[in-house]
């Protein structure tokens, strides 16, 4: 039976291998992995900076610098919230949407051979719903 340390090792290894494959595709678009995480989050709609920071696993200062760069590249724009001007919302521009569509298609084509079986989905669901999966609900294969 594998333990939590093995799970951490396997997830870390999977993330690094995936990041390496994505970096090759993203480099062709002059896009970093962090920028891609943000662009992907914004493809579903505008988000507040605090939410982007949490969901992209970036500290607020680093996110602000990245957003500044993406604004300069005309990939995103930001606006103050109508109800609370202290909160900043970020949106994809038309150029950002085209970039997302183009890169997303390339990623889907390139990663079509990566198996994402039900056990990974079960694992993610268990991790998100409880914060601590029980041994009986998660198997590592």
pLDDT tens digits along 77-100? 999 988 888 899 999 999 999 999
pLDDT tens digits along 9-52? 878 888 888 888 899 899 999 999 999 999 999 999 999 999 99
Find out whether 89 and 79 touch, Cβ atoms under 8 Å: yes
Q: What percent of the chain has pLDDT over 90?
A: 55
pLDDT tens digits along 119-135? 666 655 555 555 444 44
Question: Does the pTM of the predicted model rise above 0.85?
Answer: no
**Beta strands, E only, the chain:** 47-48, 76-80, 88-92
What average pLDDT does the chain have? 84
Task: Name residues whose C-beta falls within 8 Å of residue 48's C-beta, 6 or more positions apart in sequence.
Answer: 81, 87, 88, 89, 90
Task: Name residues whose C-beta falls within 8 Å of residue 131's C-beta, 6 or more positions apart in sequence.
Answer: none
Residue 137, pLDDT > 50, answer no
């Amino acid at each position: 039976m594998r333990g939590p340390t093995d799970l951490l090792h396997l997830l870390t290894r999977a993330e690094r291998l995936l990041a390496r494959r994505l970096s090759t595709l993203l480099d062709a678009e002059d896009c970093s992995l962090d920028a891609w995480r943000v662009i992907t989050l914004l493809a579903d709609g505008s988000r507040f900076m605090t939410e982007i920071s949490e969901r992209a696993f970036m500290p607020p200062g680093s996110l602000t610098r990245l957003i500044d760069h993406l604004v300069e590249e005309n990939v995103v724009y930001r606006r103050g919230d109508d109800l609370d001007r202290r909160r900043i919302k970020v949106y994809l521009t038309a150029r950002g949407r085209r970039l997302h569509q183009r890169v997303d298609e390339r990623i889907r084509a390139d990663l079509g051979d990566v198996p994402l079986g039900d056990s990974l989905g079960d694992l993610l669901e268990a991790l998100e719903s409880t914060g601590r999966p029980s041994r009986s609900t998660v198997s590592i294969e």
